[in-house]
A and B are shown apart, each in its own frame.
Chain A
């Protein structure tokens, strides 16, 4: 059963130097045609697969890069197809620089329950260096405005391991974030990917990254600081006040199925991992012609499903429950992976008890060494 829907808005007013998501500069883009295509894709998509939606997540790109009118149109489309009384979490990603009173009001009117703010860091110089157009003051103002508009579930995104970022700077960012008291924090370490400005700089030897040791120190700092302030570390990169864990993201890590709508979005529907056409025009054309934006799909085999259950599930600090695994696959984890589990335990990377297997503190840092053990 499909429990969540992700909707992708690929437009941005600025392209951040590290971003390798499917996105385009918004100027001269056929935004209205795109929204019409989205309307059609969602409506046809829903009729093709059985669903019982509990979460909706609008991400990007920058959903708030749409102008007020377009933004309203988007919310109407979502509302018409996806929003039912069963929806428990309705998130929109927003950037501080293009939020305004009208958009806040629209979101409230259409029942958006959760805001995810792209903050990244609290140093103006550093923000500039990673290509973010907003300032720290913008963030503080917008955050307060959001609270005043009635949002009681706000998440902020932060980053570490940025070029020229020091541990001290990260500590300062966390301290400033704590003053705002967000309900949820996603904190990602920079991964330099192809087709980004950072990658281009790196190739020329002009990107000064902190290096593995500093990055590890930063991660330690993040974990201990947020713990001090009462945030629960529930996934590798995610921290929440009790009860504010992201339901939508938990679907991914719990290996559940979800729709992906919009250009370049990914879905997991009827046992297939599917991906939509990325370029906006291709996507629109494809939806007009076929009713679906799907560009490629891969039917997940049982073996892959088991692997994914583990390498996704272990990202959650609560680990993978043995009972649930058995119910899902009708065999015991230990029968399949006894040897690997034993080895990982010996290396101090994995914890095991009657109920579950989970990453140890060391395993959280060396997650990839754990995850790959479960791949064939």
Chain B
């Protein structure tokens, strides 16, 4: 090893940023990019790292990014920083863990007014598991409600980190940025690893590019890789030839070689992202490593729903959209299904609800397809009376009651972090959602972790919204899969105008069937506009109707307003009305808006 390379390796710092949504991660990343002059101000799009519109709107990062920066430190040396961005939501915790595994350090951003949230905590623990050096940063100290000392103490009490050196910062106002960069130099270790050893590169993300195929984001842990090298994916055993290597500055810059400690990208004419699974190890095909890097897991969808085009002629467009999205998202699964009410569509599997909403929005926005999304469902394990075991991911496919011996549903361990004042509300909510109380841990005098075992289906419904509203937004949630347990579940059908609508069927616990049936029919009455005739809405268990509401007939919609000679306005109103109708699905004779198919999710929101 040349002295030169050795000294280069010692000047590399790989880190990511851990923060709760809204705690200012993207703004801080922008400031760091500015401070290291990776971008001039003019080049700087606000919040550079969040590339997709959707991400920016929701204020969350979905896809990881890795940026190489150079920083001239106070010690006079120039350092190479790799900033690896991580998603900030519970659905993506596996991706977070892999991107953390690509780092030696992490900035822990905590909002000076709000303190630590459950999700942040979960990610800090992931960082600790990956042996990262954690640098606490107390952000938004310029807010009037900021309490940096309280938050500093909280970081020490709750996580047990030494926060005496925590940087007090305001990314928005540009306060403390230089301190953060100096701490990265001083505290984050340089990457270890032997450049002469067989190649081990960790894949922490991949995106599909229509010209170059899959672009994998990698961290070289051992060895080095050159353009033209034959490489092997250790989980899938597939081999490729390296076409391009490079780093992002944040513009892509080609390199001939990446070596230990480097974070960059690799392309190799890979056609499908499922060949480059996040967490997998790339090694040399000629001189393979004995063992892959630890921690690889295949991600399985937890939540399923049906996606249908409102305009049935867009079925093929929808299939193409899913194909395109799948190239970039190996955790998205889909297969064709048909519904009597909705026609041809797809049953899709997602990591969680947010993942589902993001995919749905991307299809609508990027591919211009108006969608009907059915209420999400978990996978049920059904044992038939004849002994067969079936996995059911669509309530309307649930076998007849007489053929069912038992139904098992997935349970999760939910950790809810809440201020002391709301423990009562949180527990009440968990009980209502069929939870089993497991534990309650005081993190400090006013923060509590409440731990419950809950059916995943309850979380999928509206648990999160309810939790937020019951605790004025203060509680936060993290959950992990536990396993399957038998439950007393039944299928509930919904009838519109006397006709069963398969896309509205739900699986409910028998004890809650009446209550939920009543809520659903009431909500549907609210969501479905009046038609030219009266429409009964019923909820039924088998043949037995357990709840009913009636959508009254439309009686008057004529514009009886004085518009003077403003004809354009009248036209616009009519056009808008017509447009609204096009976004509805005709089920039988009833025009049903998109939201109605998600009615089960929206039931309790107004209460």
Residues of A within 8 A of B (CB): 6, 21, 59, 157, 186-189, 191, 212-213, 215-216, 219, 236-237, 252, 258, 260, 265-268, 273, 275, 298, 304, 307-308, 311-312, 347, 364-369, 371-372, 375
Which of B532, B560, B577 lies in contact with A219, CB distance below 8 A? B560
Say yes or no: A311 contacts B574, CB within 8 Å: yes
Q: Which residues of B contact A371 (CB under 8 A)?
A: 574
Q: Which residues of B contact A188 (CB under 8 A)?
A: 560-562
Q: With A and B bound together, what is the CA distance between A213 and B552 in angstroms?
A: 9
In this assembly, does B557 line the interface, its C-beta being within 8 Å of a C-beta of chain A? yes
Q: Binary interface profile of B, 34-45, with partner A (CB < 8 Å = 1, else 0)?
A: 000000000000
Asked, given contacts A189-B561, A347-B532, whether A212 binds B556 with beta carbons under 8 Å apart, the answer is yes
Asked, given contacts A366-B554, A366-B556, A369-B557, whether A273 binds B567 with beta carbons under 8 Å apart, the answer is yes
Say yes or no: B559 contacts A191, CB within 8 Å: yes
Pick 24 A–B contacts, CB within 8 A, sort by A: A59-B564, A188-B561, A189-B560, A189-B561, A215-B556, A216-B556, A219-B556, A219-B560, A236-B559, A258-B565, A266-B566, A268-B565, A311-B571, A365-B556, A365-B557, A365-B558, A366-B555, A367-B557, A369-B557, A372-B574, A372-B578, A372-B581, A375-B574, A375-B578
Q: With A and B bound together, what is the CA distance between A21 and B565 in angstroms?
A: 11
In this assembly, does B568 line the interface, its C-beta being within 8 Å of a C-beta of chain A? yes
In this assembly, does B570 line the interface, its C-beta being within 8 Å of a C-beta of chain A? yes
Say yes or no: B567 contacts A191, CB within 8 Å: no
Say yes or no: A236 contacts B558, CB within 8 Å: yes
Q: A6-B564, A212-B556, A258-B565 are in contact. List 14 more A-B contacts (CB 8 A).
A: A188-B561, A212-B530, A215-B555, A215-B556, A237-B560, A266-B564, A308-B571, A311-B571, A311-B574, A368-B559, A372-B574, A372-B578, A375-B571, A375-B578
Q: Which residues of B contact A186 (CB under 8 A)?
A: 562
Say yes or no: B577 contacts A368, CB within 8 Å: yes
Q: With A and B bound together, what is the CA distance between A362 and B478 in angstroms?
A: 55
Q: With A and B bound together, what is the CA distance between A99 and B156 in angstroms?
A: 77
A193 and chain B: residue at smallest CB distance: B561
Q: Which residues of B contact A311 (CB under 8 A)?
A: 570-571, 574
In this assembly, does B575 line the interface, its C-beta being within 8 Å of a C-beta of chain A? yes
Counting chain B CB atoms within 10 Å of each CB, the highest count among A157, A258, A368 belongs to: A368
Min CB–CB distance A144 → chain B (angstroms): 25
Counting chain A CB atoms within 10 Å of each CB, the highest count among B552, B555, B558, B568 belongs to: B558
Say yes or no: A375 contacts B575, CB within 8 Å: yes
A237 and chain B: residue at smallest CB distance: B560
Asked, given contacts A266-B568, A311-B570, whether A237 binds B555 with beta carbons under 8 Å apart, the answer is no
Q: With A and B bound together, what is the CA distance between A100 and B554 in angstroms?
A: 45
Say yes or no: A212 contacts B560, CB within 8 Å: no
Q: With A and B bound together, what is the CA distance between A188 and B571 in angstroms?
A: 18
Q: Which residues of A contact B575 (CB under 8 A)?
A: 372, 375
Closest 10 CB pairs of A and B: A367-B558, A216-B555, A216-B556, A191-B561, A189-B560, A266-B565, A368-B557, A372-B578, A237-B560, A266-B566
Q: Which residues of B contact A260 (CB under 8 A)?
A: 565
Say yes or no: A236 contacts B567, CB within 8 Å: no
Say yes or no: A237 contacts B567, CB within 8 Å: no
Counting chain A CB atoms within 10 Å of each CB, the highest count among B556, B574, B575 belongs to: B556
Say yes or no: B555 contacts A365, CB within 8 Å: yes
Q: With A and B bound together, what is the CA distance between A364 and B558 in angstroms?
A: 7
Q: With A and B bound together, what is the CA distance between A311 and B558 in angstroms?
A: 11
Q: With A and B bound together, what is the CA distance between A347 and B557 in angstroms?
A: 15
Q: With A and B bound together, what is the CA distance between A273 and B555 in angstroms?
A: 32
Min CB–CB distance A128 → chain B (angstroms): 21
Say yes or no: B564 contacts A21, CB within 8 Å: yes
A6 and chain B: residue at smallest CB distance: B565
Q: Which residues of chain B (530-561) have a CB below 8 Å from chain A?
A: 530, 532, 552, 554-561
Q: Which residues of B contact A236 (CB under 8 A)?
A: 558-560
Which of A215, A265, A307 lies in contact with B565, CB distance below 8 A? A265
Q: Which residues of A contact B571 (CB under 8 A)?
A: 304, 307-308, 311, 375
Q: Which residues of B contact A237 (CB under 8 A)?
A: 560-562
Q: With A and B bound together, what is the CA distance between A275 and B568 in angstroms?
A: 10
A4 and chain B: residue at smallest CB distance: B565
Q: Which residues of A contact B561 (CB under 8 A)?
A: 188-189, 191, 237
Q: Which residues of B contact A219 (CB under 8 A)?
A: 556, 560
Q: Which residues of B contact A258 (CB under 8 A)?
A: 565
Q: With A and B bound together, what is the CA distance between A21 and B569 in angstroms?
A: 12
Q: With A and B bound together, what is the CA distance between A123 and B376 in angstroms?
A: 53
Q: With A and B bound together, what is the CA distance between A267 and B560 in angstroms?
A: 21
Q: Which residues of B contact A367 (CB under 8 A)?
A: 557-559
Min CB–CB distance B562 → chain A (angstroms): 5
Q: Which residues of A contact B568 (CB under 8 A)?
A: 266, 273, 275, 298
Q: With A and B bound together, what is the CA distance between A157 and B560 in angstroms?
A: 12
Q: Which residues of B contact A347 (CB under 8 A)?
A: 532
Q: Which residues of B contact A6 (CB under 8 A)?
A: 564-565
Which of A157, A298, A307 lies in contact with B562, CB distance below 8 A? A157
Say yes or no: B567 contacts A372, CB within 8 Å: no
Which of A213, A267, A304 lies in contact with B555, CB distance below 8 A? A213
Q: Which residues of B contact A215 (CB under 8 A)?
A: 555-556
A371 and chain B: residue at smallest CB distance: B574
Q: With A and B bound together, what is the CA distance between A219 and B558 in angstroms?
A: 11
Q: Which residues of A contact B581 (CB under 8 A)?
A: 372
B556 and chain A: residue at smallest CB distance: A216
Min CB–CB distance B606 → chain A (angstroms): 12
Q: Which residues of B contact A213 (CB under 8 A)?
A: 552, 555
Q: Which residues of B contact A307 (CB under 8 A)?
A: 571
Q: Which residues of A contact B562 (CB under 8 A)?
A: 157, 186, 188, 237
Q: Which residues of B contact A252 (CB under 8 A)?
A: 564-565, 567
A19 and chain B: residue at smallest CB distance: B562
Q: Which residues of B contact A268 (CB under 8 A)?
A: 565, 567
Q: Which residues of B contact A366 (CB under 8 A)?
A: 532, 554-558
Q: With A and B bound together, what is the CA distance between A236 and B581 in angstroms?
A: 23
Q: Which residues of chain B (109-164) have a CB below 8 Å from chain A?
A: none
Q: Which residues of B contact A59 (CB under 8 A)?
A: 564
Min CB–CB distance B565 → chain A (angstroms): 4
